[in-house]
Amino acid sequence: MDRLRFRSIFISDVHLGTRDCRADFLLDFLRSTRCEQLYLVGDIIDLEAMEQAPYWPARHSEVLAEFLDLAARGTAVTYIPGNHDASLRGLAGQRLGAIEVALDAIHTTADGKRLRVSHGDEFDPEHQGKTWLTWFGDYAYRLVCLANRKLNAVRKRLRLPYFALSILAKSRIGKALAYIRHYESLATARARELGLDGQICGHIHFGHLAEHDGMLYLNDGDWVEHCTALVEHLDGTLELLHWSERRAALMRAAAGESRPQPAPIPAWAQILSARG
């Protein structure tokens, strides 16, 4: 199979270690693409959730193995921790295998744009990782995620495409939209202060590309509900890729999906969880 080739790929909010992680789609994406630089933009492993209710099917180990394998085969992989894997921030400047850990990064695109890359929780007004849920509520969000899993299990049996239920919630709650707009303005203001061209982040589970007063705002989304990645093409063009909308990806993910089997949590993930 010919792989899609990009200069750079940015993914965040995978939340390995939770039932809501769409590891099947992410594995299909990673195995269908190649890039020179891969940025893991935070909340890759949900160490907070694992402290409360450890959940680690074999697919989650496969995702970690894929990251490590990509790095070992020459892809430059940078892990920028978020608020749910904040324990890793203490490892900034070190490596996990061939993966570099950093607090943030400056990425220069092929056409010369200089963009700051960080998870984005620093732009959260609450500074507590509540994202748009500051307004919607953590409990309500968990219900949305549960409903999303149930709905898409039925849609899969009916051979219907994947649908992110939370899109409806976010698009119809005025306070959530106001929060997102405020978040974007804070992110681009920070990039302006640093003399850059824009900000790449995740955190709020709402992938979006926009321009605010000449500054680029680039949110890569998540792999819990929307299955999106920010990709840089070889000419520097930036695109938000919706992987779940690709029919071929849907077919491959569905064919490879099976009932999750328990798998050992990698030793270093256990250690990092204990650090939290």
CATH number of the domain that residue 249 is part of: 3.60.21.10
Amino acid occupying residue 219: N
Q: Which amino acid is at 7?
A: R
Nearest to 25 by CA among 258, 201, 243: 243
pTM: 0.80
Contact, 263 vs 63, CB < 8 A? no
**d(C-alpha 20, C-alpha 131), whole Å:** 17
pLDDT digits (tens, 9 = 90+) for 257-270: 544 444 555 544 55
Q: What is the pLDDT of residues 155-169, one digit of tens each?
A: 556 565 555 555 555
Question: Is the distance from CB of 216 to CB of 127 less than 8 angstroms?
Answer: no
221 vs 240: CA distance, rounded Å: 8
Structure tokens at 128: 């507590």
Of the pLDDT bands very low, low, confident and very high (cuts 50, 70, 90), residue 181 is confident
pLDDT score at 152: 54
d(CA 154, CA 245): 17
Query: Which two three-digit tokens encode residue 246?
Result: 């690709």
Distances (CA, A) of 226 to 4, 28, 163, 254, 261: 20, 14, 8, 16, 24
- Picking from 264, 207, 276, the residue whose alpha carbon sits closest to that of residue 57 is 264
Percentage of residues in the chain with pLDDT exceeding 90?
A: 61
Instruction: Provide the percentage of residues in the chain whose pLDDT is more than 70.
Output: 70
pLDDT band at 126 (very low <50, low <70, confident <90, very high): low
Average pLDDT, the chain: 83
Give whole-number Cα distances, 91 to 81, 99, 272, in Å.
10, 11, 10
Total number of domains constituting the chain: 1
Lowest pLDDT segment from 84-98, 100-114, 121-135: 121-135
Question: Rg of the Cα trace of the chain?
Answer: 18
| Domain coverage including residue 85 | 4-275
